[in-house]
Amino acid sequence: MSTKYVYMFSEGNGKQKELLGGKGANLSEMTNLGMPVPQGFTVTTEACTRYYDDNSEIVPEIVDQIFANLKKLEEISGKEFGSTTNPLLLSVRSGARASMPGMMDTVLNLGLNDEVVEGFAKMTNNPRFAYDSYRRFIQMFADVVMEVPKSNFEKIIDEMKETKGITLDSDFTSEDLKEMIEKFKTYYKEQKGEDFPTVPRNQLLESIKAVFRSWNNPRAIYYRRMNDIPASWGTAVNVQMMVFGNMGDTSGSGVAFTRNPSTGEAKLYGEFLMNCQGEDVVAGIRTPEQIEKLAEVMPHAYEEFVEICHKLEQHYRDMQDMEFTIENGKLYMLQTRNGKRTAAAALQIAVDLVNEGMISKKEAVASIDAKSLDSVLHPTFDESALKLAKPIGSALPASPGAAYGKVVFTAEDAITLNEKGDNVILVRLETSPEDIEGMNAAKGILTVRGGMTSHAAVVARGMGTCCVSGCEAIVIDEEAKLFTLGGKTIKEGDYISLDGSTGNIYEGQIPTVEASISGNFGTIMKWTDEFRELNIRTNADTPRDAKQAADFGAEGIGLCRTEHMFFEADRIKAMREMIVAKTEEARRVALEKLLPMQRSDFEGLYETMEGKAVTIRYLDPPLHEFLPTEEKDIIEIAGELNITVQELKNVISSLHEFNPMMGHRGCRLAVSYPEIAEMQTRAVIEAAINVSVKHPEWNIVPEIMIPLVGEVKELAYVKSIVVKTADDIIAKSDIDLKYSVGTMIEIPRATITADEIAEEAEFFSFGTNDLTQMTFGFSRDDAAKFLDYYYQKSIYEQDPFARIDKNGVGKLVEMAVNLGRKTRPDIKLGICGEHGGDPSSIEFCHNIGLDYVSCSPFRVPIARLAAAQAAIKNPRNN
């Protein structure tokens, strides 16, 4: 039996979204519910994927099905496609499985040509309307199908207005419109070298193909990437008989939501315009009326519409977003779908629907887009102000939130200006750990280089500060203290505005709205805890970050990066002394200075976490990161360290690395200089003992994490240092302190030898940032340069640093999980890479059976929600 590629609306149903797309399935569903839907048929998503498989052709088999169903539609409508006496006009609209509003193409009024339009004019007894429909069709078809921009036709209209002394479109007469149509056709021929197509069936097939093609236009690709929609889904195409809201004063079009999509208020919310087509409502040529007004203008239609709204919401058990048209007083439903909403509205609606008894808590939790929570946790731009702003550039949305401020180019300037009370935006080529204080002083951070997991991105997310990274289009002139972007020159002290949620960069100040966490947020968060099976921890290096995360519900620290503590002014000197030391003895002297500082850091963390788990990762970055790079700093620091400039330069040169990411770092440092691990162990254990003495009610069990292990013998060696040091201290104390030693799994070799590593490791924490880098062979700081080409060519659809690559990195992680559990069934498994805060990746972590995810503090609520959703979707067999 051959595949069915075309379904009449009456043949489908609301569950067939995969095959018919969201719009098609809902049109079928409304048809089945007996609602007034202009009839038509849906060309399936499978037809779309075949189109791509068949070298962008619609094969005869499918063409035949299209025309067979067109025949049925002619019978239902009593009209005939291409008829000069009783013509059927069609709309051709996209409709993917997931709603992608405005991303793909639409053609309306299809089926007109010079002859048909005459018949249409007679049939409707409204020549002006008929010619207006025809010119709209030419414009739309030319634009969508033939890539002749619509705006060029608008120019022709403007010229005609001028010639004729007209200001409003509605002032054109039928004859004017006829003239306009001729001009349009002439222009079309000039542009395309051929006549405007007159055969309606060809118009239909070309339009269907154009919709298929539009699945792969750049904005659709971008939208899919942002919304996790796979390219393989394809779009369906809905071919529907036209109904006309522009037939006169008893006709109109509108859009409405069953509840307010901004606030969630339980009240119909929408707009309409009389005597116009749907596109005019959206285009904003005339100002639409509030939906309530329809009760006055067309009371019957309004009443029917309200009843349908109610039915639809009850039927779909969610807020609906609908389009309708009234043709000569008769209401038609053109579309319904679950409405997009702000995060605040989503929370409100979910809580309301539970209270109304319409949905369960589980459904409420499942209904909220986890990523969208960012917008209730961070400042956002004032929406009305944002509408007027045009970005001068855009880059990676590295840390959510919105901010405006004065541009500075150095961390020091950021601190100074902030102290004066100014809002500051820090603009850097890239940030380094030395910039931490300046980053903290800034309202927003903008970098030229670096991806979603660059230093700037990771630190900004930790701080909850907005950050846009990897804006390669920026050219910085550091001496002149200015940069250029999008043709604009921005000087130090000029205002810019950053949107870390979209990656947009604006000139000037756009006012922001502070984050506001409502009671609904708390309610939903409490509900998530009823469902989730993953524990949620946080990546935090300071008591402040840890506190923030704990307030958001973090159940422990999954990653404390100890090196971040070494960059503070009073500490880096001791760190540098250690680095330039030539003997173990000299290194020990310097480490002895670091010990009390590090110990008090850990005490702070234990105090804040009140007995919750704290995982401490040992020194990770290559040592050259702690040394100066600029001549003047080298001279100054050589002085501080009591060595000659040449000696310091020799050290710097000896530490130079071609590929620092794959260099002398992680546990390789502890293997080379075990005294570092010894000092860190002293700090961890002594701090735990000190705090345990003060708070015997807390059960502090430090988790010591050795980074960058690729071979079990590395871990065994470092662990032996840790255990010897720790056990000595514990034996001398009055406390029977427990601790555990585990490792990051972030080197591909660790995943394939995880059975061996689990002999030594009591826990694994997947460091999926580095694991992604090495599995792909991408440097995260360099990948931005070529990933754009990859997105354009659909080679990658997602940034693998933002969303875990299930097919590659994920397979290695799974392998490590299985191998690790084989050796040590009770091994604790978590993730502390950036993926720990990404909903799709969290679902993956749930599915492969991890114990916890750890993410930056501001992502903790997202992770709680995403973990609950994953558990609802795929309950584990406990």
Residues serving a catalytic function are 455, 832
Q: Does 652 bind a second copy (CB under 8 A)?
A: no
User: Which helix (H) or strand (E) covers residue 153, if one does?
Assistant: helix 150-164
Contacts of 220 (CB under 8 A, 6+ apart): 100, 103, 104, 214
d(CA 108, CA 92): 6
d(CA 364, CA 230): 25
Among 660, 695, 806, 847, binds a second copy (CB under 8 A): 660
Q: Does 663 bind a second copy (CB under 8 A)?
A: yes
Q: Is the dihedral of CA 643, 648, 654, 659 positive or negative?
A: positive
Q: Does 372 bind a second copy (CB under 8 A)?
A: no
Among 321, 781, 834, 843, binds a second copy (CB under 8 A): 781
Residue 54 three-state SS? coil
Task: Kindly state the smallest distance separating residue 788's Cβ from a second copy, in Å.
Answer: 9
Q: Does 733 bind a second copy (CB under 8 A)?
A: no
Task: Enumerate residues 461-490 that contact a second copy by CB under 8 A.
Answer: 472, 475
Task: Kindly state the smallest distance separating residue 631's Cβ from a second copy, in Å.
Answer: 16
In the bound state with a second copy, the residue whose beta carbon lies nearer, of 85 and 672, is: 672
Other beta carbons within 10 angstroms of residue 699's beta carbon come to 11
Task: Kindly state the smallest distance separating residue 177's Cβ from a second copy, in Å.
Answer: 43
In the bound state with a second copy, the residue whose beta carbon lies nearer, of 210 and 627, is: 627
Contacts of 694 (CB under 8 A, 6+ apart): none
Task: Kindly state the smallest distance separating residue 784's Cβ from a second copy, in Å.
Answer: 10
Q: Does 495 bind a second copy (CB under 8 A)?
A: no
Q: How far is CA 505 from CA 219, 374, 785, in A?
A: 18, 18, 19
In the bound state with a second copy, the residue whose beta carbon lies nearer, of 360 and 650, is: 650
Pull the structure tokens for residue 506: 């604006």
Pull the structure tokens for residue 694: 């003060």
Task: Kindly state the smallest distance separating residue 757's Cβ from a second copy, in Å.
Answer: 11
Q: Rounded to 5 degrees, what angle do the CA atoms 853, 856, 859 make?
A: 80
Among 658, 697, 736, 877, binds a second copy (CB under 8 A): 658
Q: Does 649 bind a second copy (CB under 8 A)?
A: no
Which class for 588: exposed (0-12), middle (13-18), buried (19 or more C-beta within 10 A)?
middle
In the bound state with a second copy, the residue whose beta carbon lies nearer, of 3 and 650, is: 650
Q: Does 388 bind a second copy (CB under 8 A)?
A: no
Task: Kindly state the smallest distance separating residue 834's Cβ from a second copy, in Å.
Answer: 17
d(CA 255, CA 187): 34
Task: Kindly state the smallest distance separating residue 644's Cβ from a second copy, in Å.
Answer: 15
Q: Does 329 bind a second copy (CB under 8 A)?
A: no
DSSP string, 396-456: EEEE--EEEEEEESSHHHHHHHHHTT--EEEEESS--GGGHHHHHH-SEEEESS--TTSHH
Region of 65-73, 144-152, 249-257, 745-753 interacting with a second copy (CB under 8 A): 745-753
In the bound state with a second copy, the residue whose beta carbon lies nearer, of 668 and 682, is: 668
Which class for 114: exposed (0-12), middle (13-18), buried (19 or more C-beta within 10 A)?
middle
* Contact in structure between 324 and 253 (CB atoms under 8 Å): yes
Number of residues that bind a second copy (CB under 8 A): 51
Q: Does 785 bind a second copy (CB under 8 A)?
A: yes
Q: Does 776 bind a second copy (CB under 8 A)?
A: yes
d(CA 674, CA 247): 84
Residue 615 three-state SS? strand
In the bound state with a second copy, the residue whose beta carbon lies nearer, of 479 and 786, is: 786
Task: Enumerate residues 700-719 that contact a second copy by CB under 8 A.
Answer: 708, 710-711, 713-714, 717
Region of 103-111, 309-317, 483-491, 771-779 interacting with a second copy (CB under 8 A): 771-779
Task: Kindly state the smallest distance separating residue 630's Cβ from a second copy, in Å.
Answer: 17
Region of 294-302, 318-326, 655-663, 850-858 interacting with a second copy (CB under 8 A): 655-663
Q: Does 753 bind a second copy (CB under 8 A)?
A: yes
Helices (H), 227-317: 278-283, 294-297, 299-316
Task: Kindly state the smallest distance separating residue 220's Cβ from a second copy, in Å.
Answer: 18
In the bound state with a second copy, the residue whose beta carbon lies nearer, of 197 and 748, is: 748
Q: Does 189 bind a second copy (CB under 8 A)?
A: no
Region of 26-34, 344-352, 411-419, 804-812 interacting with a second copy (CB under 8 A): 804-812
Q: What is the DSSP letter of 829?
A: E
Can you tell me which residue has the tokens 């902030």? 418
In the bound state with a second copy, the residue whose beta carbon lies nearer, of 94 and 768, is: 768
Q: Does 795 bind a second copy (CB under 8 A)?
A: yes
Task: Enumerate residues 806-835 that contact a second copy by CB under 8 A.
Answer: 807-809, 811-812
SS3 of the chain: helix, strand, coil, percent, to 5: 50, 15, 30
Which of 831, 846, 866, 871 minimizes the C-alpha distance to 537?
Answer: 831
Q: Rounded to 5 degrees, what angle do the CA atoms 862, 864, 869 make?
A: 90
Among 195, 786, 877, 878, binds a second copy (CB under 8 A): 786
In the bound state with a second copy, the residue whose beta carbon lies nearer, of 165 and 777, is: 777
Q: Does 659 bind a second copy (CB under 8 A)?
A: yes
Q: Does 790 bind a second copy (CB under 8 A)?
A: yes
Residues comprising the chain, all counted: 878
Q: Does 457 bind a second copy (CB under 8 A)?
A: no
Find residue 787's DSSP bridge partners: none
Helix orientation angle between 569-580 and 631-641, rounded to the nearest 10 degrees? 80
Task: Kindly state the smallest distance separating residue 782's Cβ from a second copy, in Å.
Answer: 4
Helices (H), 317-448: 343-355, 361-367, 374-377, 383-388, 411-419, 436-441
Rama region for 473: left / alpha / beta (φ>0; ψ in -120 to 50; rest): alpha
Pull the structure tokens for residue 38: 């202009």
Region of 136-144, 233-241, 349-357, 657-665 interacting with a second copy (CB under 8 A): 657-665
* Contact in structure between 42 and 238 (CB atoms under 8 Å): yes
Query: Which residues here bind a second copy, judged by CB under 8 A?
Result: 472, 475, 650, 654, 657-664, 668, 671-672, 708, 710-711, 713-714, 717, 746-749, 752-753, 770, 773-779, 781-782, 785-786, 789-790, 793-796, 805, 807-809, 811-812
